[in-house]
Amino acid sequence: MSAYDVYSLTEEHQLLRKAVRELAEDKIAPRAAAIDEAAEYPWDVHEVLKSADLLAIHVPEQYGGAGADRIAHSIVVEEIARVCASSSLIVAGNKLGTMGLILSGSEDLKQRYLPAVARGEITFSYALSEREAGSDAGSMKTRAVRDGDAYVLNGAKCWITGAGVNTHYTVMASTDPAKGSKGISAFVVHADDPGFSVGTKERKMGIKGSPTCELYFEDCRIPADRIIGAEGTGFRTVLMTLDHTRSMIGAQAVGIAQGALDAAVAYVKERKQFGTSIADFQGVQFMIADMAMKVEAARQLVYVANASAERGDADLTFLSSASKTFASDTAMEVTTDAVQLFGGYGYTRDFPVERMMRDAKITQIYEGTNQIQRMVMARQILT
């Protein structure tokens, strides 16, 4: 790993942050509590993001997209997550769902889907996990069998972000079970493909406005030209995809943590005990200082990881895992401390830090648990 790789925020990055923050505070923040309470997908927010051309800014220019760099995309996710983690997944999930196509898809496949993604006409989910194959992807049971000019898929996927609302799915299935992870292939599945269906929504602790469901494939027949890359290259696509998207979860975690910190700072300045603002108490000041320090450290690591992804550095795998792990652990710590600073109020739904604490937890789990991330980082260091 290089200890000297750097990045810089351009004027365009700063202007983007300002614009997204204004939009988030104006259009999304007032809806955040209701989105969580109703546990329904915020189609109004979806349309706001679509109108602002923020649904898929990562799509390259040659396919009609903005071609935004990774840091720009992480800023968008961060600023939306600062007010509503569920809404940030509209953007982050779409990138996860399309990144395999961008990295490994044929030119024909890219031309077929990416312009529509860039226009916001279609959106993608990512389907890898199964009930018995979470971290151990090589054990997946979903099968894809070649049948003439088609593949027939059978099996099920679980914990799929955006399931039931997105129009397309990047699905991993085994085309050669005897080869384990080397027998996995990637496919594009349409929501209206015969034999494809979506299960009921999971009842979750947090990010309730982002639906999470199982997917079912029952003799789901799709054209053979919807395979992403060659047969057996799906797991390699998985690894490359996650190298580019784990830092987006880091960005989401930073946004959640920043939102909790902002709320806590405002509260301790206003709350009075013993005749003075609790912000004057040294114990509170130490907590605020530690929270702010960790949030900024996490943000810097996320930006370094995204800059590394932009350059295609050799240390990307380590940095991507490190940024996701550190930022999500930070988000959990900071939101917990924010609830503590609010006292009894923080434990109620009258204030946002309770929701932020619940939302933060998933960032330590999805796109690879933080325990798995530590294994990934250790392998990078020791080999």
Residues annotated as catalytic (active site), given as ranges: 367
DSSP class per residue in 62-105? GGTS----HHHHHHHHHHHHTT-HHHHHHHHHHHHHHHHHHHH-
CA dihedral 362, 40, 82, 316 (to 10 degrees): 50
Beta-bridged to residue 277, according to DSSP, are 272
For residue 345, the one-letter residue type is Y
Q: CA–CA separation, 359 vs 263, rounded Å?
A: 15
Residue with tokens 């609830």: 339
Q: What are the residues facing 223 on neighbouring strands? A: 150
β-sheet bridge partners, residue 186? 172, 228
Let me know: does 380 contact 325? Beta carbons within 8 Å. Answer: no
Task: Identify the residue whose tokens are 């799709």.
Answer: 222
Instruction: Pull the structure tokens for residue 197.
Output: 């269906």
Cα distances (Å, whole numbers) of residue 7 to 66, 237, 309: 20, 26, 11
* In the chain, beta strands by DSSP E: 124-127, 143-147, 150-161, 168-174, 184-190, 196-201, 212-223, 227-228, 272-273, 276-277
Q: For residue 82, give every residue at least 6 positions away whose Cβ sits within 8 Å of its Cβ, in sequence order, or none.
A: 21, 24, 255, 256, 258, 259, 262
Residue in this structure with the two tokens 């709350």, named with its chain if needed:
271
Rounded CA-CA distance 294/329 in Å is 10
